[in-house]
Amino acid sequence: MQESHPVNRRTFLKRAVAGTGAALLGPAVVRSSALGADGTVAPSNRIVMGALGVGGMGTGNMRGFLGKKEVQFVAVCDVDEGHRNRAKGLVEKHYGTGECETYNDYRALIGRGDLGAVCLAMPDHWHAIPVVAAARAGIDMYGEKPLARSIREGRAMCDAVHRYGRVWQTGSWQRSVGHFHRACELVRNGRIGKVQHVEVGLPTGGTSGPAKTVPVPKGLDWNMWLGPAPWRPYCHFRGSSVHFHWRWILDYSGGQLTDWAGHHIDIAHWGLGFDHTGPVEIEGKGEFPDEGLYDVLTAYKFTCKYAGGLQIVVANNKQQPMGAKWYGEGGKWIHVSRRGLKASDPAILREQIGPDEIHLYKPSDHKQNFLDCIKSRKLTITPIEAAHRSISVGLLGEIAMLTGRKIKWDPEKEEILGDPGASALLGRSYREPWHL
């Protein structure tokens, strides 16, 4: 970057859009000198952001970014009018202006042409399409886990993000927390010897009764909410509304298993250095509700065998403790969860990591890391390939339990071997008119 080209993404993109009919470019490298002496950032140097999906999670993420001095939110998008108006109010209150645009359709948000980054928090079945579109439009992305509802979608998202050199960060924030980082660094540097097997504990799901059709809540664009998923009438989703309880329905999510795969399987993989690979065999048993609206797995336990023989056993927390637990040699183990870090011998936790050893990505403020990487164009602490590989484990487990069969998986080609029925579950057809 040249000093004579100050970063003014909005102007720059407007010019680019005028010339080519599309939003194109990644934001420029912002040098530290672009920050004012008091740490404030001139509006022209801020990263122009939009929020796509502003329910509970999306609003939380947006609030996190609103607190960053180098960000300027200009637009929010949600298929629920109530959500988007509430988010607009938050943005405008924060900046003291009335300049936050609202959209019902993500294509209008992306088509603005001035966004440098978006934060995305839609239901899982709505992850792939806007991410691929945003990548094509040159927009950097902070997206929620799990990465995708299917492995084929996840790969398409990775390809698009890589093809267009976009900065991607997944909301798998545990990597930015000191004790998770510490656990993984100890495991990676052999402090428990060679890892023999790993246990990953995730939450247990629940059930519901049959659901009756009810009127679509005012302000909710139900057809758009369904998007590429199979049509169904709006029904009584239990509790509040569809905005949380979609997670218990297979058309939109894989339940607690896929929701949390992006946390604890992600951590297990990080500790093993498996961010670019996956298991070769997956086999397990799960319980699906035998009644009611919800149809995702409630209890589950499956074993993933990796090349070389290492096994990761994933189960709900009634069967093994929450978090990731690596078992090494000589009875040594390390267990990390949100409750803390434990080891078979406390001395393991006091071990130093020397200069010549593996140093994992240094943890810091998770959202700040995304913004820093937008400037440096480096990989974030949670790159998209890692997110794809962690949810792939959850999705392959789901396929093994849906079919009741052992799955043989080629992690290089990302193909299920010798089982067409199971292979069919790697992707999904989209309800028209949606396509990737």
Partner 1 sequence: MLIRPNATAVLAGLVALAALASVAAAQGDPYADIVTWKLGEQQSRKPMTTIEEEIRSADTGRLAVIEGKLLKALADPRATYGCKQWVCRMLRRMGTEKSVAALAKLLTDKPLSHMARFALQALPSEKAGQALRTALATTRGETKIGVISSLGFRRDRQAVPALARLAGGPHQPTARAAVSALGRIGGEAAAKTLQGTRVPAALASLKADAILMCADRMLAEGSLASAAVYYRKMAAPGNPTFIRLAAFRGLVLADKEKAVPAILSLMKDKNVELQRAVGKFITEMPGTAVTKSLADKLPTLEPGAQLVVLGALETRADKAAAPAVAKAVESTDADVRIAAVRALATLGSAADVDLLTRTAVAEDDVGSAATEALAHLSGEGVAQSLIKMLDSPDAAIRAKAIEVVTLRKEEAALPAAMKAASDADTKVRTAAYKALGAMAGANELGQLVQMLVKAATETERTALQQCLALAARRVEGAAGTAPVAAALGKARGAAKVSLLAVLARVGGDAALKAVQGELASADAEVKKAAVRALADWNDAQPLPVLLNVARTDASAANQVLALRGYVRLASLDSSRPDEQTAKMLADAMAVAKRPEEKKLILAALPKFACDDALRLAESCRRTPGLVAEARQAVKAIRSALVSTKMKVSAGSNGRAATAAIDGNPRTRWTTGHPMKPGDWFAMDFTTTVTVRSIFLDHRPSGNDWPQAWEAYISQDGQNWGRPIAKGKGSARGTKITLPRPIQTRHLKIVQTGSAKKRHWSIHTMKIDIE
Sheet holding 299-305, edge to edge: 340-343, 333-337, 323-327, 197-202, 311-316, 299-305, 281-287, 407-410, 415-416
Residue 358: CB atoms within 10 Å = 13
CB of 89 to partner 1, least distance (A): 14
Instruction: Give dist(CA 148, CA 215) in Å, integer.
Output: 29
Judged by CB under 8 A, the residue of 11, 29, 43, 93 near partner 1 is 29
Judged by CB under 8 A, the residue of 81, 403, 406, 408 near partner 1 is 403
Complex with partner 1: residue 196 or 317, whichever CB lies closer: 317
| Subset of residues 248 to 287 that bind partner 1, contact rule: CB under 8 A | 248
* 3-class secondary-structure state, position 119: strand
CB of 172 to partner 1, least distance (A): 21
Judged by CB under 8 A, the residue of 10, 28, 88, 180 near partner 1 is 28
**Of 74, 5, 76, 72, whose CA–CA distance to 42 is shortest?**
72
Counting contacts by CB under 8 A, is residue 356 touching partner 1? yes
**Burial environment of residue 92 by CB neighbours within 10 A (0 to 12, 13 to 18, 19 or more):** middle
Which distant-in-sequence residues (6+ apart) come within 8 Å of 94 by Cβ?
A: 66, 73
Judged by CB under 8 A, the residue of 207, 311, 344, 368 near partner 1 is 207
With beta carbons less than 8 A apart as the criterion, state whether 267 and 184 touch: yes
CB of 430 to partner 1, least distance (A): 5
Instruction: Give dist(CA 76, CA 85) in Å, integer.
Output: 9
Number of residues that bind partner 1 (CB under 8 A): 82
Counting contacts by CB under 8 A, is residue 358 touching partner 1? no
Upper half-sphere CA count for residue 277 (Cβ side, 13 Å): 15
Counting contacts by CB under 8 A, is residue 245 touching partner 1? yes
CB of 245 to partner 1, least distance (A): 7
Judged by CB under 8 A, the residue of 190, 230, 273, 331 near partner 1 is 230
DSSP state of 168: E
Complex with partner 1: residue 157 or 268, whichever CB lies closer: 157
Sheet holding 168-170, edge to edge: 101-103, 71-77, 47-52, 117-120, 140-143, 168-170
Complex with partner 1: residue 106 or 326, whichever CB lies closer: 106
Query: According to DSSP H, which parts of 49-207 are helical?
Result: 56-66, 81-95, 106-110, 128-136, 151-163, 178-188
Counting contacts by CB under 8 A, is residue 210 touching partner 1? yes
Counting contacts by CB under 8 A, is residue 218 touching partner 1? no
Counting contacts by CB under 8 A, is residue 193 touching partner 1? no
Counting contacts by CB under 8 A, is residue 314 touching partner 1? no
CB of 100 to partner 1, least distance (A): 21
With beta carbons less than 8 A apart as the criterion, state whether 90 and 63 touch: yes
Judged by CB under 8 A, the residue of 96, 215, 240, 309 near partner 1 is 240
Counting contacts by CB under 8 A, is residue 288 touching partner 1? yes
Judged by CB under 8 A, the residue of 68, 377, 406, 408 near partner 1 is 377
Counting contacts by CB under 8 A, is residue 350 touching partner 1? no
Which distant-in-sequence residues (6+ apart) come within 8 Å of 215 by Cβ?
A: 234
CB of 126 to partner 1, least distance (A): 16
With beta carbons less than 8 A apart as the criterion, state whether 399 and 300 touch: no
Tokens of 144: 């929620």
CB of 209 to partner 1, least distance (A): 3
Judged by CB under 8 A, the residue of 18, 33, 215, 218 near partner 1 is 33
Site string for partner 1, 48-77 (x = CB under 8 A): --------x---------------------
Q: Which string of DSSP letters, residue by residue, matches 346-408?
A: HHHHTPPPPTTS--PPPP--HHHHHHHHHHH----SS-HHHHHHHHHHHHHHHHHHHHTS-EE
Counting contacts by CB under 8 A, is residue 165 touching partner 1? yes
Counting contacts by CB under 8 A, is residue 206 touching partner 1? yes
Applying CB under 8 A, which part among 111-119, 168-176, 224-232, 259-267 lies near partner 1? 224-232
Residue 162: CB atoms within 10 Å = 14
Counting contacts by CB under 8 A, is residue 298 touching partner 1? yes
Counting contacts by CB under 8 A, is residue 5 touching partner 1? yes
Complex with partner 1: residue 206 or 219, whichever CB lies closer: 206
Counting contacts by CB under 8 A, is residue 3 touching partner 1? yes
Upper half-sphere CA count for residue 433 (Cβ side, 13 Å): 0
Complex with partner 1: residue 199 or 251, whichever CB lies closer: 251
Judged by CB under 8 A, the residue of 9, 24, 131, 263 near partner 1 is 24
